[in-house]
Amino acid sequence: MSHFESSVDIRRPTDEVFRWFLDMDKNAPRIDPEADEVRKEPPGETKAGTTFYFKRGGREGPVTYTDLDQNQWIDFVTKIGPMRPTARLSFDEIELGTRLSIR
């Protein structure tokens, strides 16, 4: 099994960075010019089981949050062709703001 890890430091408080990912349907299109649309199901509070559907060029791909811990981490699964990769976003408070890591 392959693994991938990366991190970036963001000059924003951890709770603000975490909330950004809870509102992916509103925020992702602002930073991804290729996204035609991002919709969230079900509507309401983002929690385990929430799926974001990213539409690009007529194709749609889901990202489902499988578990999360407020301001700590978000686990998710997505579908890329025949693959079903899983990942964890981790949110760590650092002196300059937040270290966002993905694994």
pTM: 0.90
Q: What is the mean pLDDT of residues 19-35?
A: 88
> Which is more confident, 58 or 9?
9
pLDDT of residue 58: 82
Model confidence pLDDT, tens digit, residues 46-97: 999 999 999 988 888 899 999 999 999 999 999 888 889 999 999 999 999 9
- Model confidence band, residue 1 (pLDDT cutoffs 50, 70, 90): low
Residues 6+ apart with CB under 8 A from 30: none
2 pLDDT higher than 80: no
